[in-house]
Structure 1
Amino acid sequence: MSLLEWGKKEVEIASKRERENNPEDKWDYGVACYESALKAFESLLEDGHSGMSIAITKSILNRLIEGKSLTHIEDTEDVWNKCYRGNGDNKTTYQCKRMSSLFKDVYDDGKVVYKDINRYYCINKNDPNISWHNGFIGNIYNEMFPLTMPYMPSNKADLIVCDELLTDPKNGDFDTIAVLYIQRAHGERVEVNRYFKEGDTSFIEISKDEYEERAAMDKERRKQTETQ
């Protein structure tokens, strides 16, 4: 059996299972994805790729799908679009034409800060299956690991492990944040252990002792909710 015939057979089996396990109005989406992947696989084989060349092509395709540049990005005027002029924060923000997740803040005093919002993501230490982005935590991350030019985004994002507490239900989903550590894409673990509570306009840094007091309040609130 040729590699193409093998691929067709695998897609046939997967599509059949998709039809059997989903309602009629739902399985067509999954089947369409399998068929699209088969087209890409067939195209690679038609181009004569195998072994190392198909692995290289796959890595290139993955970066294109993820919106990551294939070569280093230089800070030249032609790669930026002006997004907006900040109100009261004395800066102008630009978005990169080559990579939509990359931004540049140019402050009136000449300072320049680059941010790639896909360079990191956050998870809760108690629920690692749910990830999110947080601008406040992102600023802490960017201060620790400033992005410089020329820039070549990594294939993997850094992971920021956090904890969120809610001491008062009127504050919404959470009112306390702990930034515990950062798992770098290359394997290094960087301890942070900084703690914050909600203030009038932003989060305010607090001591570990105060954080632990608020953690006890959160635990008590959860107990009361469970008994209601």
Structure 2
Amino acid sequence: MFKKFSLEDFHGSTQIKSSVQRAIRSKIAEQFPSLCSNRSVKDEDEDDEKRRQKRRDSSDSDSTSSSSDEEEENEEGPTPLDLLLPKKNAEIRVGKLENKVTVVLVGNEPLFFQTVKDGPYYPTLKVLHRFPRMMKRLRTDKGAIKFVFKGSNIMCPGLTSAGATMHDEVEEDEPVAIYAEGKEHALAVGTCVMSAEAMRRENKGIGVELCHHLGDGLWEYLSKVHE
């Protein structure tokens, strides 16, 4: 889908009105509710013992009450969605590509995209790596990794073998993050061609249609933006 990517590829890219921004934020918030928590998605995976130790360290100081107040105040910070799509003074734009893909950008950085009009949003891998628990996950076996890097769709056997893991019960047409056996970060995002239950039952054919993967044109563009 993104064999190449450049801002010059857009067939029109305009800064959108505040009402359209609100509509986009609302749909993304509905689709990815964890982005609306004022705790980072990564923080949700923080070890509970570390949190308890932090509280104990805080209680050892003479300013226990003030420290507690400060912690509570810090927890009221911006949500991940606020950080990605600020409500105020943000240059949020929408661009359309020749293949009908719609991309949501802040400045020159793509953050989300739609593969069809009024369809679900997909995060770029840079966003997903920043907030890895924002969407459902499937993990392929090692044998599928080289095919993911080539942009190939993922076959059901690559998701049902001994090395694979179905972390979540996905449904047909649902966006999903693709991980791989032995790898920490997501390799791709795609669309489920069938449900997890059907993948296990049928165990043949395409399970996930890839949309965006490590090494594609969008990833290469984002890597330059983040240099």
Fold shared per TM-score above 0.5? no
TM-score between the two structures when normalised by the length of structure 2: 0.28
Q: Which has the higher strand share?
A: 1
Q: Which has the higher contact order (CA 8 A, sep 6+)?
A: 2
The structure whose Rg is larger is 1
TM-score between the two structures when normalised by the length of structure 1: 0.28
